[in-house]
Structure formats: structure tokens, C-alpha cells
């Protein structure tokens, strides 16, 4: 502390206002704590500003464009279908992102949460300093929740710039590129590749391993690859990206595949090869907080670090980098501070990829269940036998249940197809509630709905399928 810099005593501080931090802050306030949030860039974090939400807005715009171009199967046609991408971007920013981040600010006010815009840096395990433009202030805290999130990884030969973009740049393009190269076929790269292909770009995905979307089953990945083929997306696997060289009007990307050096010219290249936790420059070492070799903060099942009054949640701790995981951990940490016995339980953690078709998974996959030593029964019901899917003309995909053959206990579930992002919630609840496949089969589902495919997958599992 410098002379004249008096520390201000606070109760609970949360660093970072992403889906981990802001949810933790609100829940801590609901549980009676006086909460202060410190955020250096944007309320709502990556998810609301440059992640989940704007990406889904662009994906939706792409779907609308495609539907307008081609609904002839329904006898619907339109002429002169065009995109005004500046308008799309304006809608995404002002009607979607700003509305949601404004909502978080309102919730902070409602719960009397103080928000300080500035960069937080730990001084020890009971105080931190907030650096603002022209000033700095020290605060002491009783409890601290760190939710500083993650940032894109830059790779050698691909320095981010005007034409070499991270996912944030990819979301904020001024125009739909004619040619777009996406490096990395994980869920962010695959989603945005699909979105821009739907918006009219020719997209090339360069993936270093032998498959895109490695966390999903092969039968699900195949559906996405089939749809990329229809959209004209080029997918090159086992491709090592070498270098991007900016040219007068674009960028030239070189990569190695099959032992050969190849080049592809594009308007932009977007690098989505993963994200790095923001744990380097926030004073964790100074406060004596332990990290793993991968730079993640070590926490127990309440999110508590090796310092008993300091918690860490979201992308900076182990597990999938997902917004709902961050929020869930934020609630547990807030409850732990309030003295409740809450602990995390990831058994039913869902994940969704918003490709065409959407992919959803919850609990164990067949492979993981076998690895865990379970006997496994796989029961699949295809959307091609679902009335609602046929009426939507979206029959690709299936619901797949992974269960114990003897007890029928549900171990996991996957959905590929229309509405997968919503349908997976029912299956997540079933896992959370300890349901078995018979419970799913016996649950009356309204007709005609995509959800009936869940019931019918239960019928397949119990041995009495009606529609296949
Ligand atoms: C393009 C894209 C699409 C995605 N789509 C999905 C999706 O569909 N579904 C999903 O579940 N997840 C998705 N994600 C991942 C999701 O955004 C993250 O998992 C989630 O945002 C993590 O939440 P968090 O609270 O841990 O951190 P973040 O959202 O990263 O928030 C951290 C906050 O901390 C602030 N901060 C950092 N350091 C400091 C400091 N020293 N002082 C003060 N403030 C600081 C940052 O400015 C930031 O606002 C997507 C991500 C990307 C990039």
C-alpha cells in the first residue's frame, strides 16, 4: 500500500463478471452476503459478449438465410434473398448482446451488488488491488471468488491481426468472407465454420488431429461432416497449420497434410485451437494459491483453493470450458461461503455443439461407460421415424441412450438432430434424478414432438419399440 492509499474493507469479492462470476455474485447476495464484483472489460464475460450468445446469434442468422434461400420442399419460395451483414452484426450487438449484458447490470442493482470496472491483482490472501485508468485502490476481503475465465490461444505463424483472427474477430467480421479458413475443428471452430458457410462463405477447416469434434461419438460427427459436404465446406484432417501471410486483399495460409505443403488463399483465417486460462497475471503466486501444471487453479469439490477463504470457478479450473459449468460452480462456491454443505457433482454435465445438426451429450458416452467398467447397452431411436422431425423436414439424427443392461440405469445420453440443444436437458434431468430407461419409456410425451424420440429410445431400450 502506498502512503495515502487506505484499503477499503469488503465482505465477498468476485473477480470477473462472466457466467461464473456474475452468477456466483448474485447467489452470494441472495444468501445474504455483501458482494462486490470487479470486472476489467465487459459485464457478462466471454459468454455474453464474444462467446456463446453472439455465436448463436450468427448461427441463427445463417439458418434464416438458408431457409429463405431454400424452402422449396415446403412449396415456399422467395426471390432476391440477400444478406445485409452490417444489419446482422448490428442486431447481434445491440438487440442481443447489449440486451443481455444490460440485464446482468440490472440484476446487480437489484441485488445491491457493487460493480467496479478495473483490473484486479491479488496482493495476498486477504487483499487485492484494482487498477483503473488513472488510479488504483486496495480492497481487503473476507472471501474471494476468482472467475477470470480464459482467452484464445495464439499459435506460431498465426499472429492475430487484421486478417488473422481469434474467435472474437471471427464473430465481428464486417462482411461475410468469400473464403474463410478455420484452424481447429473443435466446437467453436466447427460452429463458426457452419455459421459462415450458411451465410454464404466457402469455408476450409484445417484440423490437426484425425477428426473434428473429438469429444463426440463418430456417428454424430458423421452427420456434421455430411452436412458440411452439402454446404461445400472443405474439411482437411491431420493438417498442420504452418503460417499465415497477409496479402494485399487477404491472407495466404500454408499447411502440411499427407507430407505435402499446401497453400490456401482466403479473406480471413480464424484460429480456434483452444483457450488458455487467465491465471497468469492476477497475483495467484503472490497470494500463495496453487495451480496445476496446465495453469489451472487447484480446487476442492466446493471450489475452494488451498486458501480457505478463496474460491476459483469456471474456465480457470479443471473440466470443460462451458458457461453452464462456470455458473454451476459459482453457485456452489457462493453456498460454500454461506456455510452450506454444497459440493459439485458433474455426473450429468451436458454439452452442446450448435453445428448442423446440433449435437448434445450428457453423462457418459458408450466409450467412457465401458472405460469406467460398466456393462453397456446402447439404444438408438432415429429422427427419421419421428413425425415432428418429418414435418420439419429435419430427419437426420437420433436419440441414443447408454444404460446398464441389467438394471436399466441410465448412464448417459446423446442427441444429434433438430432441437438437440433443448432435448438434452430432459436427458440431463433424467440422469440427475437417477432415472432408468423404463422411466423414459413410461413418461408420456406430447405428440407430435421431437421429445417423443426420447420416449421411443426408452422403448428401444426396454425391448418394445413401437415405431421402428
Ligand atoms: C466463440 C465461443 C463460443 C462459445 N459457445 C459456448 C456455448 O455455446 N456454450 C457454452 O457453455 N460455452 C460456450 N463458450 C465457452 C464459454 O464462453 C466459457 O466457458 C465461459 O464464458 C466461461 O465463464 P467464466 O465465468 O469462467 O469466464 P469468462 O466468461 O471468460 O469471464 C471472465 C471475466 O473475467 C474478467 N477478468 C479476467 N481477468 C480479470 C482481472 N484481473 N480483473 C478483473 N476482471 C478480470 C474478464 O474480462 C471476463 O469478463 C464459448 C466460447 C467462445 C469463445
- Domains of the chain, start order: 8-152+276-338 (3.50.50.60), 164-273 (3.50.50.60), 350-462 (3.30.390.30)
pLDDT attached to residue 3: 56
Known catalytic residue at 447: yes
Q: Is 274 helix (H, G, I), strand (E, B) or coil?
A: coil
Task: Select from 434, 443, 446 the least CA-distant residue to 462.
Answer: 443
pLDDT attached to residue 419: 98
Catalytic residue of the set 324, 374, 447, 467: 447
| Residue 274 CA, ligand 1 centroid: distance in Å | 13
pLDDT attached to residue 267: 98
The CB of 188 under 6 Å from ligand 1? The reply is yes
Looking at ligand 1, which atom is closest to the CA of residue 47?
A: 17
| Residue 55 CA, ligand 1 centroid: distance in Å | 13
Residue 168, all three cell numbers? 472474437
pLDDT attached to residue 115: 98
Looking at ligand 1, which atom is closest to the CA of residue 171?
A: 1
pLDDT attached to residue 246: 95
Q: Is 203 helix (H, G, I), strand (E, B) or coil?
A: strand
pLDDT attached to residue 4: 57
Low-confidence ranges of the chain (pLDDT < 70): 1-4
Tell me whether strands 127-131 and 119-124 are parallel, antiparallel or unpaired: antiparallel
**221/231 Cα distance (integer angstroms):** 15
Q: Alpha-carbon dihedral of residues 49, 362, 384, 438, nearest 10 degrees?
A: -140
7 secondary structure, DSSP code: P
Q: Is 314 left (phi over 0), alpha (psi -120 to 50) or beta?
A: left
pLDDT attached to residue 455: 98
The CB of 120 under 6 Å from ligand 1? The reply is yes
Amino acid at each position: 500500500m502506498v502512503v495515502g492509499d487506505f484499503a477499503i474493507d469488503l465482505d465477498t469479492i468476485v473477480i470477473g463478471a462472466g457466467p461464473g462470476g456474475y452468477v456466483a455474485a448474485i447467489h452470494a447476495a441472495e444468501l445474504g452476503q455483501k458482494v462486490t464484483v470487479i470486472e476489467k472489460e465487459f459485464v457478462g464475460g466471454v459468454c455474453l459478449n464474444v462467446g456463446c450468445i453472439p455465436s448463436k446469434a450468427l448461427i441463427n442468422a445463417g439458418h434464416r438465410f438458408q431457409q429463405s434461400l431454400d424452402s422449396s420442399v415446403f412449396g415456399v419460395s422467395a426471390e432476391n434473398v440477400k444478406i445485409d451483414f452490417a444489419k446482422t452484426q448490428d442486431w447481434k450487438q445491440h438487440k442481443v448482446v447489449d440486451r443481455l449484458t444490460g440485464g446482468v447490470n440490472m440484476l446487480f442493482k437489484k441485488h445491491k451488488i457493487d460493480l467496479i470496472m478495473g483490473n484486479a491483482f491479488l496482493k495476498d490472501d486477504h487483499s487485492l488491488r484494482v487498477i483503473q485508468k488513472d488510479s488504483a485502490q486496495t480492497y481487503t476481503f473476507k472471501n474471494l471468488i476468482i472467475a477470470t475465465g480464459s482467452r484464445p490461444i495464439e499459435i506460431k505463424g498465426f499472429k492475430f491481426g487484421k486478417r488473422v483472427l481469434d474467435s472474437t474477430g471471427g464473430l465481428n467480421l464486417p462482411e461475410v468472407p468469400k473464403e474463410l479458413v478455420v484452424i481447429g475443428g473443435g466446437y467453436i471452430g466447427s460452429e463458426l465454420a457452419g455459421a459462415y458457410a450458411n451465410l454464404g462463405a466457402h469455408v476450409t477447416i484445417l484440423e490437426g488431429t484425425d477428426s473434428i469434434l473429438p469429444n463426440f461419438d463418430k456417428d454424430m460427427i458423421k452427420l456434421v461432416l455430411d452436412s458440411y459436404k452439402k454446404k461445400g465446406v472443405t474439411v482437411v484432417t491431420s493438417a498442420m497449420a504452418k503460417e499465415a501471410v497477409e496479402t494485399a486483399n487477404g491472407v495466404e495460409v500454408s499447411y502440411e497434410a499427407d507430407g505435402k505443403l499446401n497453400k490456401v488463399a482466403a479473406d480471413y483465417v480464424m484460429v480456434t485451437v483452444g483457450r488458455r486460462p487467465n491465471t497468469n497475471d492476477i497475483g495467484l503466486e503472490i497470494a500463495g494459491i496453487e495451480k496445476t501444471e496446465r495453469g489451472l487453479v487447484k480446487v476442492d469439490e466446493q471450489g475452494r483453493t488451498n486458501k480457505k477463504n478463496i474460491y476459483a470457478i469456471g474456465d480457470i479450473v479443471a473440466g470443460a470450458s462451458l458457461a453452464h459449468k462456470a455458473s454451476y460452480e459459482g453457485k456452489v462456491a457462493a453456498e460454500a461461503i454461506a456455510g452450506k454443505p454444497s459440493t459439485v457433482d458433474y455426473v450429468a454435465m451436458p454439452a452442446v455443439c450448435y453445428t448442423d445438426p446440433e449435437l448434445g451429450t450428457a453423462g457418459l458416452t458408450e466409450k467412457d461407460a465401458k472405460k469406467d467398467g460398466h456393462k453397456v447397452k446402447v439404444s438408438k431411436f432415429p429422427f427419421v421415424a419421428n413425425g415432428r422431425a418429418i414435418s420439419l423436414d429435419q430427419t437426420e439424427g437420433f436419440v441414443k441412450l447408454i444404460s446398464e443392461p441389467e438394471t436399466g440405469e441410465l448412464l448417459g445420453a446423446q442427441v444429434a438432430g433438430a432441437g438437440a440443444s433443448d432435448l438434452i436437458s430432459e436427458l440431463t434431468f433424467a440422469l440427475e434424478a437417477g432415472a432408468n430407461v423404463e422411466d423414459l419409456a413410461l413418461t408420456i410425451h406430447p405428440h407430435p414432438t421431437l421429445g417423443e424420440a426420447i420416449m421411443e429410445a426408452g422403448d428401444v431400450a426396454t425391448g418394445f419399440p413401437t415405431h421402428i
